[in-house]
Amino acid sequence: MNIMDFLAPRYPLLIVLSGPSGVGKDTVLRRLQARRLPLHFVVTATNRSPRRGEVDGRDYFFISTAQFEKLIAENELLEYSVVYNDYKGVPKQQVRAALASGRDVIMRVDVQGAAKIRALVPEAVLIFLNAESPESLQRRLSARDADTPESLQIRLAAAQREVEQATLFDYLVINREQAVEATVDKIVAIIEAEHCRVKPRRVEL
Amino acid sequence: MNIMDFLAPRYPLLIVLSGPSGVGKDTVLRRLQARRLPLHFVVTATNRSPRRGEVDGRDYFFISTAQFEKLIAENELLEYSVVYNDYKGVPKQQVRAALASGRDVIMRVDVQGAAKIRALVPEAVLIFLNAESPESLQRRLSARDADTPESLQIRLAAAQREVEQATLFDYLVINREQAVEATVDKIVAIIEAEHCRVKPRRVEL
């Protein structure tokens, strides 16, 4: 090894943010986006129609069911879910293009999706976002007015099962209530530290 | 695993800062110290007498040759060197006490010392500080007025050999000229990220 090898290209990272339902993943990503780092935020593709105010390419990529099924058939989705007729997934091409431009890529997936990505892209950086306590997670879930007490119980049980998957992940970040900027600071620190690794994680897609 | 397991004790880290002679390790540590983090900076023990202005316990621990040899015999030094009658080393007890108080510990060692610590404490976090180019390292070395052209050549050759050891390390941080605060930011990010690891590095001494 030569001293000059240290100035080798900086390999962009694929960062996966996951965690139980209700933990605050979307808020954290919005605040991270506000920091204007050289970071590509993955936009999910879906076959449903845009709702009022939704913008193609910003909120989702709105594609047809036939286009979506073609992506599945060609193994061109990094991760996807099909619930009845509701298709959602991450096109590999979008991630490849962002990585090729040198930007790190960050995506939000549920815990099942993170396990799939770990298998498909072992070099991904997996961050598990958790609440500071079961009570805090319950408070966050109850704050969603769409939930009935029954659906809240189901969500809580699912969240507990999701927490059991945490050992799959590289990092755990506790998203304390009223401290979302501290959470974002930690994610930024993880990204910075990963870029200093002597053995970089080089993503192949 | 239960959600509450995430609130397990925070394991303090043993951080080792190394890198070629002249790269700026002392300056980086001084600037890091100015940030007032809960971080213990290791004070080296030596058998030499204090020079004018040096304070026992701050600059060095000044101990007798007999005391030093007792520490060697009892395997109570994390790392030490003996050059003629000049003894220098890091007492394990100091590191143990700081870790037990919950503080991370950081120490500066030369590249040979870092290899010894890697063998003795596999869970240590090893950071290799490097210059941005061979020319930059040469400029930094030449700036030390004590060096003759011959000793400069010897130092440069040694620095090149030290750089070849970089794969021993966990992290590489480039200490760019006129950007020491950015270097300190990276070290702080590495410490923060390490505390978020799902599999913490738990140091036993």
Quick one: B50 and B27 in the same domain? no
Quick one: B66 and B157 in the same domain? no
Give the residue from B121, B131, B122 showing the smallest Cα distance to B166.
B131
Q: Report pLDDT for B147.
A: 62
Do A6 and B194 count as a contact with CB atoms less than 8 A apart?
no
Quick one: B85 and B107 in the same domain? no
Quick one: B70 and B15 in the same domain? no
Q: Which of A4, A130, A199 sits opposite B3 (nearest CB)?
A: A130
Rounded alpha-carbon distances, angstroms, from residue A68 to B22, B28, B133: 57, 52, 49
Do B192 and A185 count as a contact with CB atoms less than 8 A apart?
yes
Quick one: B110 and B27 in the same domain? yes
Which of residues A150 and A36 earns the better pLDDT score?
A: A36
pLDDT digit string, tens, across residues A6-28: 555 689 999 999 988 889 999 99
Quick one: A67 and A168 in the same domain? no
Domain boundary residue among A64, A85, A101? A101
Q: Which residues form the domain of A151? A: 1-38+103-205
Do A192 and B186 count as a contact with CB atoms less than 8 A apart?
yes
Quick one: B27 and B117 in the same domain? yes
CA distance A196 to chain B (A): 5
Number of domains present in the structure of chain A? 2
pLDDT digit string, tens, across residues B42-59: 999 999 999 999 999 999
CA distance B137 to chain A (A): 10
pLDDT digit string, tens, across residues A47-97: 999 999 999 999 999 999 999 999 999 999 999 998 888 999 999 999 999
Whether A133 contacts chain B with CB within 8 A? yes
Cβ contact A24:A129 at 8 Å: yes
Q: Which helix (H) or strand (E) holds B84?
A: none
Q: With contacts defined as CB-CB under 8 Å, which chain A residues touch B163?
A: 1-3, 6
Region A124-140: what's the mean pLDDT? 88
pLDDT digit string, tens, across residues B180-205: 999 999 999 999 999 999 988 999 88
Quick one: B72 and B108 in the same domain? no
Quick one: A81 and A110 in the same domain? no
Residues of chain B with pLDDT under 70: 1-9, 144-147
Question: Angle between the A25-33 and A180-194 helix axes, to the nearest 10 degrees?
Answer: 70
Whether A189 contacts chain B with CB within 8 A? yes
Q: Which of B6, B169, B189 sits opposite A192 (nearest CB)?
A: B189
Do B190 and A173 count as a contact with CB atoms less than 8 A apart?
no
Q: Strand order of the sheet with strand B125-130?
A: B39-41, B104-108, B14-18, B125-130, B171-174
Instruction: Number of helices (H) and strands (E) in chain B: give both, helices first.
Output: 7, 9
CA distance A194 to A174: 19
Write down the ipTM of this complex.
0.88
Q: Report pLDDT for B191.
A: 97
Question: Angle between the A134-142 and A149-163 helix axes, to the nearest 10 degrees?
Answer: 140
Domain boundary residue among A101, A116, A147? A101
Residue of B188, B196, B197 to mutate, interface with A, max A Cβ within 10 Å: B196
Which of residues B167 and A186 earns the better pLDDT score?
A: A186
Residue of A2, A6, A130 to mutate, interface with B, max B Cβ within 10 Å: A6
| Residue A1 belongs to domain with CATH number | 3.40.50.300
Average pLDDT taken over every residue of chain A: 89
Do B134 and A6 count as a contact with CB atoms less than 8 A apart?
no
Quick one: B136 and B193 in the same domain? yes
Quick one: A18 and A50 in the same domain? no
Q: With contacts defined as CB-CB under 8 Å, which chain A residues touch B170?
A: 197-198
Reading the block at residue B8, the tokens are 């397990």
Q: Report pLDDT for B173.
A: 95
Domain boundary residue among B101, B126, B147? B101
Do A167 and B1 count as a contact with CB atoms less than 8 A apart?
yes
Q: Report pLDDT for B111.
A: 87
CA distance B125 to chain A (A): 11
Quick one: B120 and B164 in the same domain? yes
Q: Report pLDDT for A4.
A: 47
Cβ contact A134:B3 at 8 Å: yes
pTM here? 0.89
Which residue of chain B is at minimal alpha-carbon distance from A174?
A: B6
Q: Longest Cα pair distance anywhere in chain A, in angstroms?
A: 62
| Residue B85 belongs to domain with CATH number | 3.30.63.10
